[in-house]
Amino acid sequence: MSTPAIAAPRGTRDYLDGDGAALLSCIDIHRRVSSLFGYRHVITPIFEAAELFERGTGTGTDVVEKEMYSFTDRGNRALALRPEGTPGVIRALAADPAVRDIRPYRAQYDGPMFRYDRPQKGRYREFHQVGVEVLGVRDPNIDVEVLHVAWETFSALGIGNVDIRLNSLGSREDRLHYRDELVAYYTPLRDELCEDCRRRLDTNPLRLLDCKTDARHVAAAPILLDGLAADTRTYFHDVQEGLRAEGIPFTVDPRIVRGLDYYCDTTFEFWHSSLNGAQNALGGGGRYDGLAEVLGLPHTPGVGYALGVERLMVIRSELEGIQQGLSPSVLVIALDAESVKHARTCATALRAASVPTALDVAKGKLDRKFRWCERMGVSWCIMCGEDEVRDGQVTLRNLQDRTQERLDMDACIARLAASREE
């Protein structure tokens, strides 16, 4: 009887072939763009105390209540795989005396996140996010800057037409006032609400606005923006002016809310029309001036965003002409044992000239090696045999039109560079 094969866990995926390169290319681009804005890389653990997310992401959110991978380790500690990046980054930065006093502190992060979500296209149980957080100041210019970094990231990824939906949640007082208004509006409707919303009405009324089932009631609900106090209204006005000054388009959407108490002022989501339905958000974020205190840390205002890398990849893969990362563009083949040294020298020279190069010094039929190239999308072969070693040259074969020529190495590198520009 044969042993059954083990499949990848539901909701996870392997990144094979070009997919691995495509994922890393999105992450690299975000690293490059946020570094250009002065954001420093922060790497935090993939698992944390479960309480960090219970407090930071919030009991009462689906992410914590229904989707978190919580477990007890062998030392009986309650841990969780991180469902999002922000609480870990804040925990690390707001607790570190060496960085706590650097205001603003600009941080960037990326990596895998875990949620027990219902898997479907663009939604996984292990997925990747890239994000930034700016800690230490409450200033509309910083909110604008964070949106600017996201905007430049989309542009560097070749993703146009991102719809920025912007809202303000105002101050804590604004929200307490608004919460009362929502409760007054929803209470007479209780019997018509879905089960989740009946619970939300008692536990976290702001989250009623997230409901897709009771969309009709959401559409007619009172609007928080209408009741903002003067100073929070000015803050929101300044954010909008700043975005206009940077030429970043946005739409004010009063339905973009985050149902947690520590969120305040600016909140936003990034949408894209080529993502469907519930998966149309590329990412989101906002200001969370109360979060550090919820985690038991000194008061540290902050603002940030997270983007879903798999969603960025879906859009990029629909765009033609986006380079999905580098696969080798050349295979160097040693035709016999005596040519291995020459082949190695050639491969080293090509790599030094930034030509992605694979080397094959194994015995074997040339036909097979050419077939390997075809499957890997490699379009050039460099062959080194007795004659090439003797003359200090190589034979360059174009696998597409099957022509070949004898050249010395410099000419070969120039020829390959020219072909990449064609």
Q: What are the Cα distances from residue 152, in Å, to 95, 158, 159, 268, 339?
A: 30, 10, 10, 16, 48
β-pair partners for 394: 407
DSSP type of residue 44: -
**Smaller CB separation from ligand AMP, 115 or 342:** 115
**Smaller CB separation from ligand AMP, 129 or 393:** 129
Give least dist CB 352 to ligand AMP, A.
39
Tokens (6 digits) for 27 = 């992450």
Backbone angles phi, psi at 113, to 5 degrees: -125, 160
The 3-state DSSP class for residue 324 equals: coil
Give least dist CB 208 to ligand AMP, A.
17
Q: From CA 120, how far away is CA 328, in angstroms rounded?
A: 32
Residue type (1 letter), 346:
C
Nearest-10 Cα torsion for 32, 34, 39, 43: -70
DSSP 361-386: -S---HHHHHHHHHHHT--EEEEE-H
Give least dist CB 260 to ligand AMP, A.
12
Tokens (6 digits) for 159 = 């993703």
Place of tokens 């105390």: 49
**Smaller CB separation from ligand AMP, 107 or 382:** 107
Q: From CA 376, how far away is CA 370, in angstroms rounded?
A: 10
**Smaller CB separation from ligand AMP, 178 or 270:** 270
Give least dist CB 84 to ligand AMP, A.
5
Nearest CA to 95 among 104, 84, 85, 87?
Answer: 87
**What Rg, from alpha-carbon coordinates, does the chain have?**
27
Which chain residues interact with ligand AMP by CB under 6 A? 84, 115, 117, 122-124, 127, 129, 281-284, 306, 308, 310-311
Q: What are the Cα distances from residue 159, in Å, to 146, 156, 187, 396?
A: 18, 8, 43, 37
Give least dist CB 120 to ligand AMP, A.
9
**Smaller CB separation from ligand AMP, 84 or 238:** 84
**Smaller CB separation from ligand AMP, 286 or 290:** 286
Give least dist CB 282 to ligand AMP, A.
5
Q: From CA 81, how far away is CA 69, in angstroms rounded?
A: 5
**Smaller CB separation from ligand AMP, 107 or 306:** 306
User: Within the chain, what is the greatest distance between any pair of CA atoms?
Assistant: 92
**Smaller CB separation from ligand AMP, 286 or 301:** 286
The 3-state DSSP class for residue 411 equals: helix
The 3-state DSSP class for residue 412 equals: helix
Give least dist CB 220 to ligand AMP, A.
25
Give least dist CB 104 to ligand AMP, A.
22
The residues near 153 (Cβ < 8 Å, ≥ 6 apart) are 29, 30, 33, 34, 130, 307
Give least dist CB 290 to ligand AMP, A.
18
Give least dist CB 161 to ligand AMP, A.
16
**Smaller CB separation from ligand AMP, 309 or 394:** 309
**Smaller CB separation from ligand AMP, 284 or 301:** 284
